[in-house]
Amino acid sequence: MGEPPPSDCHETIRSAFDNVAAHISNLAALQMAVDEFVTECISIDGVVRDLESRMDEVEITLRTDMRILINEIRHLRERKFSR
């Protein structure tokens, strides 16, 4: 199956963030990243790659928060594909 359209990308990223926000330590930092990704979102895979590429540059707690978000994004994407 192909990559969902950008509108699905925006919806998936926002939904994933909303789902994990209660479990995030660096809410403001991750919110800024999500806002940036949503405006530039072309593909979900691209967002995941961008998040992963930024993980080396941040401290461990934010890295963990990013990993939580990435896992939720992947979970939502898989759920959409399985419908």
Task: Give per-residue pLDDT as tens, 34-64.
Answer: 888 888 888 899 999 999 999 999 999 999 9
Give the number of C-alpha atoms closer than 13 A to the C-alpha of residue 71, restricted to the C-beta side. 9
Spatial contact of 34 and 62, defined as CB atoms under 8 Å apart = no
Spatial contact of 63 and 70, defined as CB atoms under 8 Å apart = no
pLDDT for residue 65 is more than 80: yes
pLDDT for residue 17 is more than 70: yes
Buried b (16+ CB within 10 A) or exposed e, 8-26: bbbbbbeebbeebeeebeb
pTM: 0.85
User: Which pLDDT does position 70 carry in this prediction?
Assistant: 96
Query: Six-digit token pair at 72?
Result: 């939720």
